[in-house]
Amino acid sequence: MLHQFDMDYFKKYTCVCGVDEAGRGPLAGDVYAAAVVFDDDTIIDEVNDSKKLSEKKREELFDVICEKAKDFCIATASVDEIEELNILGAAMLAMKRAVEGLEYKPDVALVDGNRKPPVECETVTVVKGDAKSQSIAAASILAKVARDRYMKQIAQDYPQYQFDKHKGYGTKLHYEMLDKYGISEVHRPSFLKKYLAEKK
């Protein structure tokens, strides 16, 4: 049970925060991160790794998490920052911003993966944490839903790329649109080096 994993940390810490990111893989758009703090007795049964949930279920849980969380923050790092820092550095920056944006300062941050963002509180990395910890799983849902909504907004500004369908990932459709329309300012040039080299 995901809540039980967090309870082990509540025995040692008063304020436990889960952190995850979304959008490291796509060819376009910002990278997102979320930080979520629950009270120790808050249990949301259906919360799970966002990748294991349908889009509809993630949307439903987004509202439940926002309502039941003691605190949460969603943050981003831009395409320019991804290009400047590389995607890992930008994802760490987005996570740092999410944790720093919390009103309740956490005693410990449980972070999905094996890299620690540069935050001021104690940090514990949890590989596949979004399938183990309720607070990390909740953060993964908030980050994923917020990013998907952002990509749908971008789709209105750049309708030719159909970002609402592929969310910026390197799908067959996305590459077809790149072939047809070229690269936009919301694309990540560093992610398209191989594609551009093959085009030449």
Q: What is the DSSP letter of 123?
A: E
Q: Where are the domains of the chain?
A: 2-199
> Scanning the structure block, which residue is given the tokens 């972070």?
111
Question: How far does Cα 172 stand from its chain's mean position?
Answer: 23
Q: Cβ atoms within 10 A of the Cβ of 8, count?
A: 10
Looking at this protein, which amino acid is placed at residue 124?
A: V
What pairing do the DSSP bridges indicate for beta strands 16-22 and 108-112?
parallel
User: Is the CATH number of domain 2-199 3.30.70.100?
Assistant: no
Helices (H), 77-171: 79-85, 87-100, 134-157, 163-166
Number of H-type helices and E-type strands within the chain: 8, 5
147 touches 32 (CB < 8 A)? yes
pTM of the model: 0.96
Write out the chain's pLDDT in tens, 200 residues: 899 999 999 999 999 999 999 999 999 999 999 999 999 999 998 998 778 899 999 999 999 999 999 999 999 999 999 999 999 999 999 999 999 999 999 999 999 999 999 999 999 999 999 999 999 999 999 999 999 999 999 999 999 999 999 999 999 999 999 999 999 999 999 999 999 888 87
In the numeric block, which tokens belong to residue 43?
């249990």
